[in-house]
Amino acid sequence: MKKLLLSVSVLFAATANSQDCSELFISEYIEGPGNNNAIEIYNPTNNPIDLSGYTINRYGNGATSSPDVWPLSGTLYTGEAIAIGNGQIDSIWVSSYWSLPVDASFYAACGINGSGVYPTPFYFNGDDAMTLEKGGDIIDIFGKVGEDPGNAWTDDVTAGYTDANGGTWWTKRQTLVRKSSVKSGVTQNPILFNPAAEYDSLPDATYSNMGTHNCECTPILSLNNTDVSYVIYPNPAKKGQSVSINSKRSINKIEVFNILGEKIISKNTSIISTSKLLKGNYLVRIYFENGTNISNKLIVE
Per-residue pLDDT of the chain (301 residues; tens, 9 = 90+): 333 333 333 333 334 677 999 999 999 999 999 899 999 999 999 888 999 999 999 999 999 999 999 999 888 988 889 999 998 988 877 777 788 889 999 998 898 888 888 889 999 999 999 999 999 999 999 999 999 999 999 999 999 999 999 999 999 999 999 999 999 999 999 999 999 999 999 999 999 989 889 899 977 654 444 567 788 888 888 888 888 888 877 888 898 888 777 788 888 888 898 988 888 888 888 888 776 778 788 889 9
Q: What is the pLDDT of residue 206?
A: 95
Decide if 271 contacts 244 (C-beta within 8 A).
yes
Dihedral sign, Cα of residue 130, residue 40, residue 77, residue 25: negative
Decide if 215 contacts 200 (C-beta within 8 A).
no
CA separation, residue 299 to residues 132, 172, 231, 254, 261 (Å)? 22, 36, 14, 16, 15
- Could you please report the per-residue DSSP string of 240-293? T-EEEEEESSPEEEEEEE-TT--EEEEESSSEEE-TTPPSEEEEEEEEETTS-E
In angstroms, the CA 28 to CA 15 distance is 22
Which H or E run includes 107? helix 104-109
Q: What is the dihedral of CA 274, 276, 279, 280, to 10 degrees?
A: -80
Domains 2-202 and 230-300 share a fold: yes
Of 178, 182, 184, 190, the closest CA to residue 18 belongs to 184
Q: Could you state, in order of their start, the residue ranges of all structural domains in the chain? A: 2-202, 230-300
The CATH code that applies to domain 230-300 is: 2.60.40.3080
The CATH code that applies to domain 2-202 is: 2.60.40.1260
